[in-house]
Homo-oligomer: A and B are copies of this chain.
Amino acid sequence: MTTLEEDLEDAAAAPRGTGAVHPGVRRARAWLSRAVEPGTVDLWRYVEEIGPVEAVLRLRAGSAPAGIRSLVGARVAEDATLPDLRRAEGCGARLVVPEDDEWPAYQLHALTVAVADEPLVRRDQSKRTQALVPPMALWVRGPARLDELTERSVAVVGARASSAYGEHVAGELGHQLGERGWTVVSGGAFGIDGAAHRGALAAEAPTIAVLACGVDRSYPAGNGALFHRIAEDGLLVSEWPPGCAPLRHRFLVRNRLIAALTRGTVVVEAAARSGAQATAHRAQKLGRPVMVVPGPVTSALSVGCHELLRDEHVGAVLVTTAAQVVEAVGRIGDDLAPPVERPGSPRDGLSDVAARVLDASPVRIGVSPERLARSAGCDVLDVLRVLPALELAELVEWTGTGWRLAPPPKPPGAAA
């Protein structure tokens, strides 16, 4: 068994661009994923600048700048890379690194762009839970390729303590998005998240749960069977190594990944001050469409949704169907939602005078065109002009002595 440093030195000495990722690179990123909490701007920049192998070597040797060393702190002496990688393998997971082909570089590029806006001085930077920093590496469990599954993907997020209404809508959205070939990405939580995952699975479509703990852990435990099914047909994804606990601050950090990995985020139910709102704000900052399903204004679980829709800064789009979601995130021309169907009426094409003559026509006893003209407030000539069209449309009829409304048409299939 090689030590971490041996592997790293070997990777540092290896020629570049020879295809497969050197095991030392993967081990360096595995070490970083445990040593530093994700979302740390300065560490990401340090690794971006000198590469993961050199960064870990210098951190371990104590030759990294003090500001960077303090980010790792007490964890610098630890090395759990081999147990972590072995534990991942044991549960069918792998560590996907930016050097891999499978890395979802296209989607995550938005984070690289966003992190460039962070100031150089640390105290001016965003809080770590809000900073839009690309991940160091992603622990991925499941058979599918991460880059392929996220290419046409939508985040569906919402309240844990959801209502039956919200779960119904999330399940329908998940199902219909799955049927249309879109991957549903969510957080694997109770409530809306779980309903969206289950809807997608019911459509036999892959779905991705982005977790705030290790991919070998079931949190919440009640969703254990769901995670098992997702790992079979979709993907469980986490920035934290196997075994890591779902600490509270990690959920906020995780939310930026749900927003970043997808083409847009749909919020189904969200109370005021909710994680789903946070995810929506991340998506907006990343330039991704924010879509919101409204609900009854009498429901506390829709307060956050309606706040998002009222916030001009967010520019959220109200959506009611999967077709409207796909229209918002899809390619123009490919994915237009059909307009809401409106029932037609034979009155639709009528001119103003014709509508007035129709309204003036009595139900039972036929009247003369002169009387229709007085009731409708127009010339007799106008009445005589529109009556043939009204008769053709079977809206009025001639009784032999005058004009009256025609009886309503019989429904198709009714007995004569």
Residues of A within 8 A of B (CB): 35-37, 70-75, 78, 127-129, 165, 168-169, 247-250, 272-273, 293-298, 302-303, 306-307, 309-310, 317-321, 324, 340-343, 347, 351-352, 355-356, 359-360, 370, 373-374, 377-380, 382
Contact assessment for A377 and B36 in the assembled complex, using a CB-CB cutoff below 8 Å:
yes
Contact assessment for A318 and B309 in the assembled complex, using a CB-CB cutoff below 8 Å:
yes
A356 CA to B245 CA, complexed, in Å: 12
The contact of A352 among B128, B355, B380, by CB within 8 Å, is B128
Q: In the complex, what residue of chain B is closest to A273 when comparing beta carbons?
A: B342
Contact assessment for B272 and A73 in the assembled complex, using a CB-CB cutoff below 8 Å:
no
The contact of A318 among B310, B324, B377, by CB within 8 Å, is B310
The contact of A380 among B73, B127, B373, B382, by CB within 8 Å, is B73
> How far does the Cβ of A181 sit from chain B's closest Cβ, in whole Å?
22
User: What B residues does A73 contact at CB under 8 A?
Assistant: 373, 377-380, 382
Given contacts A72-B377, A73-B379, A307-B340, contact A360 B298 (CB under 8 A): no
Q: In the complex, what residue of chain B is closest to A78 when comparing beta carbons?
A: B374
Contact assessment for B374 and A168 in the assembled complex, using a CB-CB cutoff below 8 Å:
no
In the complex, besides A247-B356, A272-B342, A293-B297, 9 extra interface pairs with C-beta distance below 8 angstroms are: A70-B379, A71-B378, A74-B377, A74-B379, A169-B297, A247-B360, A294-B318, A295-B295, A296-B296
> How far does the Cβ of A205 sit from chain B's closest Cβ, in whole Å?
21
Contact assessment for A324 and B310 in the assembled complex, using a CB-CB cutoff below 8 Å:
yes
A158 CA to B102 CA, complexed, in Å: 52
Contact assessment for B359 and A248 in the assembled complex, using a CB-CB cutoff below 8 Å:
yes
Contact assessment for A377 and B37 in the assembled complex, using a CB-CB cutoff below 8 Å:
yes
Contact assessment for B377 and A129 in the assembled complex, using a CB-CB cutoff below 8 Å:
no
Most chain B C-beta atoms within 10 Å of own C-beta, residue among A294, A303, A340, A374: A294
> How far does the Cβ of A317 sit from chain B's closest Cβ, in whole Å?
7
User: What B residues does A307 contact at CB under 8 A?
Assistant: 340
Contact assessment for A74 and B370 in the assembled complex, using a CB-CB cutoff below 8 Å:
yes
Contact assessment for A298 and B247 in the assembled complex, using a CB-CB cutoff below 8 Å:
no
Q: In the complex, what residue of chain B is closest to A245 when comparing beta carbons?
A: B359
User: What B residues does A272 contact at CB under 8 A?
Assistant: 340-343
Contact assessment for A356 and B37 in the assembled complex, using a CB-CB cutoff below 8 Å:
yes
Contact assessment for A298 and B37 in the assembled complex, using a CB-CB cutoff below 8 Å:
no
A37 CA to B355 CA, complexed, in Å: 12
A250 CA to B119 CA, complexed, in Å: 63
Given contacts A169-B297, A294-B294, A297-B294, contact A74 B378 (CB under 8 A): yes
A188 CA to B163 CA, complexed, in Å: 34
User: What B residues does A319 contact at CB under 8 A?
Assistant: 310
User: What B residues does A169 contact at CB under 8 A?
Assistant: 297-298
A108 CA to B51 CA, complexed, in Å: 70
User: What B residues does A168 contact at CB under 8 A?
Assistant: 298
Q: In the complex, what residue of chain B is closest to A374 when comparing beta carbons?
A: B74
Interface pairs (9), CB distance under 8 Å: A74-B379, A129-B352, A169-B298, A248-B359, A249-B356, A294-B296, A297-B321, A303-B340, A309-B309
Q: In the complex, what residue of chain B is closest to A345 when comparing beta carbons?
A: B273
Most chain B C-beta atoms within 10 Å of own C-beta, residue among A37, A71, A72: A37
A196 CA to B184 CA, complexed, in Å: 41
Given contacts A355-B248, A359-B247, contact A374 B297 (CB under 8 A): no
> How far does the Cβ of A313 sit from chain B's closest Cβ, in whole Å?
14
Q: In the complex, what residue of chain B is closest to A360 when comparing beta carbons?
A: B247
Contact assessment for A373 and B74 in the assembled complex, using a CB-CB cutoff below 8 Å:
yes
> How far does the Cβ of A147 sit from chain B's closest Cβ, in whole Å?
29
Q: In the complex, what residue of chain B is closest to A355 when comparing beta carbons?
A: B249
User: What B residues does A360 contact at CB under 8 A?
Assistant: 247
Most chain B C-beta atoms within 10 Å of own C-beta, residue among A74, A272, A317, A380: A74
